[in-house]
Amino acid sequence: MTSLRARERLVQRLRESGIHDERVLAQIAGVPRHWFVDEALSIRAYEDTALPIGYGQTISQPWIVARMSEVLVAEGPRDRVLEVGTGSGYQTAILAGLFREVYSIERIRPLHDRARETLSRLGLRNVHLHHGDGLEGWPRAGGCSAMLLAAAVHHVPDQLRSQLKVGGRLVVPKITPHGQILVLIQRADEDHYPETDLGPVVFVRSRKGLE
């Protein structure tokens, strides 16, 4: 198996399962997912499934990565995106080819350090990483045209939503009484954040504080 052939097959599966944004599919084809998992799991890197990365976290299913990415880039400028939950760094790498600047926060130090090393190997110069509590936001990132949360929450904290520009788009797995759903939140004006249900998902739940 060559990673290039495996990535091409993965892209075809994603296209057949409803991912249509060619910019996103090109990123999936171009990023070596096997770099972001333990060597023992590399043979499974191009399956459309989540895989463990340690510390109770996972690298998300490629379909979810692609779906969240295409929702973010569907409308409006693609200047600055804030990702809460760097994890392995795979979603970060996909976003790096879609946005001018990517700001990503990870609360678990060993994952942050590992992601920094992997993303550095890719030579990405528009990615800014921070070890911190992502639910508190990252003021350095300024106003963002897009935001992505990689863990499920009951609600998005106000200090995080406030970093989203008017007209910006935020994608988040939301915990409801009936399970988790993927939600698109758009900032219509200073005080209004209408939501759109994008369907059921399963994510690890967010946690506060640093590790």
Positions marked catalytic: 60
Q: What are phi and psi of 174, to 5 degrees?
A: -115, 135
Supply 6's token pair.
């495996």
Burial of 201-210, coded b for 16+ CB within 10 Å and e otherwise, reads bebbebeeee
Burial of 147-170, coded b for 16+ CB within 10 Å and e otherwise, reads bbbbbbbeebeeebbebbbeebbb
